[in-house]
Amino acid sequence: MTGLRSSSSLVAAAPVLSSAALLFFCCFTTGAADAGNGGGGLRLGYYSESCPRAEDIVKEQVAQLYHKHGNTAVSWLRALFHDCMVRSCDASLLLEPTATSVSEKASPRSFGMRNFKYIDVIKAAVERECPGTVSCSDVLALAARDGAAILGGPRVVGMRTGRRDSRESHDDEVERDIPNHNDSVSAVLSRFAALGVDAEGAVALLGAHSVGRVHCFNLVARLYPTVDAGVDQAYGAYLRQRCPTADAREDTRDVAYARNDRATPMVLDNMYYKNLLARRGLLLVDQRLADDPRTASFVARMAADNAYFHDRFAAALLTMSEYNPLGDDEGEIRRDCRFVNPAA
């Protein structure tokens, strides 16, 4: 990918950590943060003077919460993806509904998302150190970065901060902008391209599906009335055990699910790509990556080389996290991530 740092500067080997908990769905370039709104003031060490321990506090909180509630790390990766895909990386996702707006979290595309309360825990810890200084959007981006590392993924370096928080929800744009589980590869690549992420980076970011789980609601179309011919026979039988009926409902809390990766369900590794090559892609959009000529070579290479996957994932995560930052006059630093600041 153009404008990337070398893999040695982006990624250092991360220890493999395990947990029984699970959850999930679902490039450092100068141009990414400079596109639109003057780059929003993003830079390395943004809080070095105003809140020197900001990034350390986030990392400490991520570690503490992970060891108490392992699925939090997966939640933050998904939350950053959902936040950045809609308009900007601006923490609009975190806003609660008001008398005049609907929360982005209410969208069907957000089904299954959770652990927002722990973002509030991290934010509160930062607020105690530096009141009104660190944005919720930076907290979310840094938590996703540190969450990836604690899941055994890459240690991403070079994440710029200085994001501003949105004053409004963009709930009417969620369905349009968040890719669906059965979208075409063209639709997915087009959406990622809008964020400045190329095909290689898109394939790498979808590797986040190496961790977590998928609700049966998103799977049954591939299993009933007959199992999709593109699914490995034994895997199809396993999925039918996990999802025994075709009437799985989206709007129930007691939902059945299947793990994205049965071998290393809480490790952010290249098992996802190995599964695709073995016809064990859980979501239709995942399996299509292995068949499409625009993405198949990346799938094969990432399946063969975990370090390459980590390198590309780290680069693409940085690019996505810098999408369309708000200018100083467009956003604010929310004190409570759930609500805009009261009018002065």
Query: What are the residue numbers of the active site?
Result: 82
Separation between Cα atoms, residue 286 and residue 208, nearest integer Å:
11
92 in a known ligand binding site: yes
86 in a known ligand binding site: yes
Separation between Cα atoms, residue 172 and residue 226, nearest integer Å:
35
108 in a known ligand binding site: no
* 147 within 8 A of 66, measured Cβ to Cβ: yes
197 in a known ligand binding site: no
269 in a known ligand binding site: yes
DSSP helix/strand/coil, 7: helix
Separation between Cα atoms, residue 203 and residue 315, nearest integer Å:
12
181 in a known ligand binding site: no
Residues 6 or more apart in contact with residue 173 via CB below 8 angstroms: 86, 87
264 in a known ligand binding site: yes
104 in a known ligand binding site: yes
CA 281 to each of CA 26, 33, 90, 120, 289: distance values in angstroms, whole numbers, following the listed order = 13, 33, 31, 34, 9
172 in a known ligand binding site: no
56 in a known ligand binding site: no
Residues 6 or more apart in contact with residue 240 via CB below 8 angstroms: 223, 227
Separation between Cα atoms, residue 47 and residue 162, nearest integer Å:
8
Binding positions for substrate: 179
Binding site per annotation, positions for heme b: 209
Annotated binding site for Ca(2+): 83, 86, 90, 92, 104, 261, 264, 269
The annotation places the binding site at: 83, 86, 90, 92, 104, 179, 209, 261, 264, 269
